[in-house]
Structure formats: C-alpha cells, structure tokens
Amino acid sequence: MSEHEEFLLENSFEKFRASQIFTHLYKHRFQSFSEFFLVSQELRNFLNENFIINSLFPENIQYSKDGTTKFLFRLNDGAAIESVLIPAETLDEDPKLKRLTLCVSSQVGCALNCSFCATGKLGYKRNLEPSEIVDQVLQVEKETQKKISNIVFMGMGEPLHNLENVVKAIDILSNSVSKIISRKKITISTAGIVPKIIELADIPKPVKLAISLHSTTNGVRQKIMPIAKKWNIQDLRKSIVEYYRKTNIPITYEYILFDGLNNSLDDAKRLAKFSRTVPSKVNIIPFHDISFTNPTGFAKDLKPASRDQIQKFVEQLKHLGVNVYVRTSSGEDIDAACGQLAYSIKS
C-alpha cells in the first residue's frame, strides 16, 4: 500500500481515492481542490483544510539571448530555488529532435562546497520536498505552455544527498497516469556520493547517471571537491562499474576544463582510460565565472581554459577514441550557467 493510500485509510477515506487525487493533480493539473470532480465534497473539504496545491511561486523569469530561460521560484517557507530551461539549439543538439531540457534543483543550497561552484558558497539550507521538485516542471510548462522533454538534476544541490525525495519526484513524473516524462529522459548528476550511486542502481527502472568528474587524480579532485576526500577516485570508479553492471545505462562524465589544472596531455590520457571503464560519453564544460561570489583561497586562482585549449583537449580525447562533446555556456549572461545558480537570491 502506498503512503497516500495509508493516509487516506487512517482518515476514514477509501484508499482508491489516492489514484483519483493523483489524476486530478498530475493529469488534469487542477489548481484548486474544488475542481476535483471525481471525489466527494467531504474529501474535497478535507484536502482543502489539510493541503495546498502549489508549492512554488514563480517570482522572476529571466531570458538569455541564447534562448535559455531562468526561473526563480519562491517556496512556501520563503526560501528560493532556480530552474533553467534550455532549448536544443543552445545545447548544439539537432533542433529537429525538439528537445527542451529543464535543469531542476534538488536542494536549497548545497553542502558540498566545491571550490568552482557558486551554489556551494551558499551552504546547505534544506532538502526539497518531492512536490517542490515536481512543481518546477509543472510551473515551467504552465508558464511557457511548452512540453519539457528532458530533465537533468543539475540545478542547485546534490541530488544524491536528497535521494529519497528525488526518487519520489521521479516516480510521480514518470508514473503511467501523469506521463509527464519518461525515465529514459531523466539524468541525475552527482559529485560522487559513492554509497548512494550504488543505492540508485537498485531503484526499479533506473535513470541516467552523470558524474561530475573534473579530474582523474585524487590530488586535484580533492583540491576542488572536498567530497573526494571521503570517496576517492578508485571508490568512485567501482561504484560506476556497479551502476553500469546493474542498469546497462551508459554513464556521462562532466569535466570542467581549467587552465593549467586538468588540461594536460596526461590528463587527457587518464580521462580517456577512465572513460573506457564502462560505455560512456564525456561532456567538456567551460568554467563559468563565479568571481561575483568573491572566492577566496584555491577558488580564487581557478582560471577557465581558453577556447584553443578546449579545442586541443577535445582533439586529444577524440584521438584517444573518447565520445566527447563540448557543452556551451547556456545562459551565462543571466547567471544561469552551471554553478552560477542562486547566488542572486541570497535574501
């Protein structure tokens, strides 16, 4: 029995009402309980007294000249998160595929404190509820009147630090009644929370996994990602092997290219070797400026690789047989690019 069915029974309603409520919420997307035509007036009143439908309020929408749109959502407790809508053209994908990707947040802030990431500078505030994750998708579709085709958990937060709620949200979004999005079109991106990667491999109908790798040596990784001190590259590799063995889904590696830190020929060779562990692709990401966070220490010295350096590194990887792509800087002019989220909304 689902937790919703249990809850209804405890409150003297039939358990089959759960699926009717679900249909009203996610298929019809009603905005008020008074529209729930399948259920009794008594249940409508009960829902009205105990729940609210919208958990997010779209407070601000910014449009980038490259087609990216950033949504600032205010949550019921006053906290704020952001979601970013990225059209296929911006990601250099074939426009014929009509892909529309939504980058969603999984937490308010983030506990990881990666030195290159603006969200990390906010610190961890709280996990998002499943409804707050789902509502990012519903609200963006409502505002834009467009259908989202892909979801990536690459907004604020570390999704594997909020795995239970992220999986609940995915279950709602991909449910056979809501049919909002197929699980094959959902990607969870992680900095490398090893035991949770293994846990994620065991969920029914798993999703795509992206690993924020950024370096293949423990030394450099530990400098820029504190979490790498807890789980080193060897542990991470083992968990990736396990994920692929259980799911058969190729892995995506994200690799921010920094000038002089992780862009040597040896880095390319190590990355090529690492990427051959299981079927995979590598996304090279240009480092997006986060100087607006006034970085200190090691973060202050991080420099983006130049266009030529990126091209050279990519050529080396291609030569080594790597399936490699360069991610363009979506929405950089509106601070919507990776790692730039939510610094404008500290208040």
For residues 51 and 21, what is the distance between their CA atoms, to the nearest angstrom? 12
* Minimum CB–partner distance for residue 262 and ligand SAH (Å): 12
* Minimum CB–partner distance for residue 285 and ligand SAH (Å): 5
* Minimum CB–partner distance for residue 26 and ligand SAH (Å): 25
Question: What stretch of H or E contains 74?
Answer: strand 69-75
Three-class SS of residue 216? Answer: coil
Q: Which token pair is 326? A: 């360069």
* Minimum CB–partner distance for residue 86 and ligand SAH (Å): 12
Positions in the binding site for ligand SAH (CB under 6 A): 116-117, 154, 158, 189-191, 212, 254, 256, 285, 287-288, 290, 338-339
User: Which residues on adjacent β-strands are paired with residue 75?
Assistant: 56
Cβ-based nearer residue to ligand SAH, 190 or 216 = 190
The yes-or-no answer on residue 338 being catalytic is yes
* Minimum CB–partner distance for residue 152 and ligand SAH (Å): 8
The residue whose two tokens read 């979490």 is 227
The yes-or-no answer on residue 82 being catalytic is yes
Cβ-based nearer residue to ligand SAH, 18 or 213 = 213
- Counting beta carbons within 10 angstroms of the beta carbon of residue 248, is it exposed (0 to 12), middle (13 to 18) or buried (19 or more)? exposed
The residue whose two tokens read 């200190």 is 296
For residues 271 and 263, what is the distance between their CA atoms, to the nearest angstrom? 10
Q: Which of these is catalytic: 103, 114, 117, 338?
A: 338
User: Phi, psi (5° rounding) for residue 32?
Assistant: -145, 145
Helices (H), the chain: 3-10, 17-22, 41-50, 118-122, 130-144, 163-174, 194-201, 218-224, 233-247, 265-275, 307-319
Question: Which are the contacts of 94, defined by CB distance < 8 A and separation ≥ 6?
Answer: 88
Cβ-based nearer residue to ligand SAH, 8 or 114 = 114
Cβ-based nearer residue to ligand SAH, 8 or 166 = 166
Cβ-based nearer residue to ligand SAH, 81 or 154 = 154
Q: Which amino acid is at 149?
A: S
Q: Which of these is catalytic: 82, 132, 158, 332?
A: 82
* Minimum CB–partner distance for residue 53 and ligand SAH (Å): 28
Cβ-based nearer residue to ligand SAH, 43 or 227 = 227
Q: Tell me if 148 sits within 8 A of 112, measured CB to CB.
A: no
Q: How many residues does the chain have?
A: 347
Please list the active-site residues.
82, 338
